[in-house]
A and B are shown apart, each in its own frame.
Chain A
């Protein structure tokens, strides 16, 4: 485990320790300086690699925030490390990680405006082109429009994130009657399914 750990350490340190603009330029001018390589793909790769480091850190925080007792309980029942992680720790970690990942997603969306560095025409660059003129004031209208576009997309993302967050909050306190009823019904359905499958199996066995 020493080697993979070291690789991850280097990745996190380098990516989080340097500005995206620099990373983008290095990718463009050195690492992916292949003739005919699409610029968009360079940008996608750079932002992906960059964002991955931040998301990895949030995930680590989320996984570590789950009480070690949960893993111990699963292990003491004879479940393997992977099973405990997959079915017990990760579902609990996700809940606390969603806001952080949502944040990262929003930040990423806005960060992409720097791709104009490579000459890719994105929303910001387009607004800049439209607003180009002799007076600085000509930039105002297109930039406000661009800002509204960003705002609209970000707001949509916020709504989606909020929805997901709510979905994962299920196992929180069930003081509310309606929620309790819902979980009871879900349970009953599951148990019924087990019974049905069993009956089907027995019927099949007899024939």
Chain B
């Protein structure tokens, strides 16, 4: 599974309908470890829906999603005229385990308003760490002897200490250590988005998904958020970024996907997509965006 050539996320033939509205009409992508993919396209083209389908916040109508060779979601598309079978809900444990490996950053930050900045970051690692500990203990109790290494089970004290140290060092990294005890409502948009990114990082995800991370920000705050994302990219994080910042996409992405009408119309390295676009709609889009 750790082979370099095998793709990390493999999406085939992804469809998503909202009622009669077809948003995604067959998206095929394979995302390799270390890739930075920028998804661009006009609004309503299904970019955000595609991203939300990737971590199953939106359940696709049909298609297959594989993560590191494991099939997470698979529903065949119904024949023409036949009724689309409603997909079975994914077992929540599998779903949660899958999502833990994917960090998601939202357009509107979505920091937990009832928690302080530091608690926002520590919350998931502590909760899920304890959950994993309880599961391990249960397995140890009920399972065969020697199946679970006793040394491997962390204590609550260890989990909390690790989460705390990590959260503080992450805050230090983005220069907001002095805001640890502040509530999100007192922070600027740029600060909130940086904290949201760091909150996702605290779970040590393998992929980061960015859903228009700078669209809700005041112009003067876009820079700080993009700088942090770029820093992550330089560290080798695999990421998928839905963005309207063409300059940023060009600079950071290793591959650019142009989506329109629920399909990927063109993909390739940024030099090719921005420099020598083949698709007519892409040319049209770029001429409008880049002036």
B106 touches A72 (CB 8 A): yes
Query: In terms of DSSP, what is the predominant structure of the interface of chain A?
Result: helix
Knowing A70-B112, A171-B114, the reply to whether A77 touches B100 (Cβ < 8 A) is: yes
Interface size class of A (residues with CB under 8 A): 35 or more
Report the interface size for chain B: residues with CB under 8 A from the other chain.
43
A173–B183 alpha-carbon span in the complex (Å): 8
Task: Note all chain A residues with C-beta closer than 8 A to B182.
Answer: 174, 180, 183
Whether A191 is near chain B, meaning CB under 8 Å from some CB there, is yes
B124 touches A201 (CB 8 A): no
Are A87 and B127 touching (Cβ within 8 A)? yes
Q: How many angstroms between the C-alpha atoms of A69 and B57 in the bound complex?
A: 11
The distance from the CB of B192 to the nearest CB of chain A, in whole angstroms, is 12
Given A77-B100, A80-B92 in contact, is the A194-B57 Cβ separation under 8 Å?
A: no
**CB < 8 Å: which of A73, A175, A187, A200 contacts B181?**
A187
Report whether A70 and B203 are in contact in the complex, using a CB–CB cutoff of 8 Å: no
The answer to whether A79 and B164 have CB atoms under 8 Å apart is no
Could you tell me which residues of chain A, from 44 to 91, have a CB within 8 Å of some CB in chain B? Answer: 67, 69-70, 72-81, 83, 87-88, 91
Report which B residues bind A (CB closer than 8 A): 55, 57, 92, 96-100, 102-104, 106, 108, 110-116, 118-119, 123-124, 127-128, 155-158, 160-161, 164, 180-183, 185-186, 196, 199-200, 203
Write the residues of chain A forming the contact surface with B, with a CB cutoff of 8 angstroms: 67, 69-70, 72-81, 83, 87-88, 91-92, 171-175, 180, 183-184, 186-188, 191, 194-195, 197-198, 200-201
Q: Which 9 A-B pairs have the closest CB atoms?
A: A78-B100, A73-B110, A187-B181, A76-B104, A201-B157, A69-B110, A198-B161, A77-B124, A184-B181
